[in-house]
Amino acid sequence: MRRVVTTGLATLALTLGFAAAPASAENLYTPSEEDFADCPARPANATEWKCFVMTALDGQFRLKNMKVRINHAVRLTVAQGKVNGQNVAQTGSVRSEPMPFVAGVLGTPLEIPDPTGWKVKIEATGHASPGILYPSKVGLKARIIGDGLGDNCWIGSNAAPVILAPRIQWAIPSVQGGLLMVKAKVYDDIFAIDWATGCQSPLVNTLIGAANATSNHFDATWAIRHKTF
């Protein structure tokens, strides 16, 4: 039998004394049992198996010279536990719609659509690494969508994913839709991306191709829930 367990993370947030940063606009999110629809099945011989759902309520990606605003609730599902005594992690899915590239100053009246009109859709690759509280790393890929790019323009792949290792900036217990969870600000400002592949326009790699890891940035406010199997 499965049960929802959120009090442990909430207690941790209080114990460590994490405090919230100034409030920001958040995308609509109503928690429900559907949050756990993509939890990876518990492997044979697994113990302490937990499925974590991190729903991004706001945030951004910056890839070299271009920026993406997280303009809807994006759900990442991962799980971890022990199998035959070894720590393992699995990715369930990323539930996301295409998000637009933007220019100007994000979160202000100076934010405008990027002149390219491109969008990006984030997808899971199956890669995840176990961590202390939740999987510490997750492998993603991003499809770049736009006129003249073709239908197979990607940054990262299942075989060579973009590896994010989100770190917690602050965390607080939160009640949303009558359910207790943890709200946390997470970020990763050191991750590498490789050249885009399958794109019909060389402009992609000019603008958002391979770059020094410190040129890329991700941050988001996560609503974190988890379930123990």
Amino acid at 71: N
Q: Which band of pLDDT confidence, cut at 50, 70 and 90, is reported for residue 217?
A: very high
Q: Given this model, what pLDDT does residue 209 score?
A: 75
- pLDDT 10s digits, 140-161: 999 999 999 999 999 999 999 9
What's the rounded Cα separation, in Å, for the pair 125 and 128? 9
More confidently predicted of 208 and 3: 208
Q: Given this model, what pLDDT does residue 1 score?
A: 36
More confidently predicted of 125 and 8: 125
> HSE (CB half, 13 Å, CA atoms) of 143?
14
Tokens of 32: 């429900």
Range from 4-8, 73-77, 90-94, 107-111 carrying the lowest mean pLDDT: 4-8
Q: Given this model, what pLDDT does residue 25 score?
A: 66
- Say if residue 88 is exposed, middle or buried (CB neighbours under 10 Å; 0-12, 13-18, 19+): middle
- pLDDT 10s digits, 19-77: 444 345 689 999 999 999 999 999 988 888 999 999 999 999 988 789 999 999 999 99
Domain limits, the chain: 3-228
Tokens of 214: 């410190």
Tokens of 77: 């599902």
Q: Given this model, what pLDDT does residue 58 score?
A: 95
Q: Given this model, what pLDDT does residue 208 score?
A: 87
Q: Given this model, what pLDDT does residue 7 score?
A: 34
3-state secondary structure of 114: coil
What's the rounded Cα separation, in Å, for the pair 122 and 46? 29
pLDDT at 15 over 70: no
pLDDT at 18 over 60: no
Tokens 């790019």, residue located: 149
Q: Which band of pLDDT confidence, cut at 50, 70 and 90, is reported for residue 211?
A: low
3-state secondary structure of 195: coil
pLDDT at 182 over 90: yes
Range from 13-17, 102-106, 140-144 carrying the lowest mean pLDDT: 13-17
Tokens of 194: 């490789």
What's the rounded Cα separation, in Å, for the pair 53 and 70? 17
Q: Given this model, what pLDDT does residue 185 score?
A: 96
In contact, 71 and 100? CB cutoff 8 Å: yes
In contact, 113 and 103? CB cutoff 8 Å: yes
Q: Given this model, what pLDDT does residue 118 score?
A: 96
Give the residue among 172, 167, 175, 93 at the shortest CA–CA distance from 128. 93
Q: What percent of the chain has pLDDT over 90?
A: 68
Average pLDDT, the chain: 87
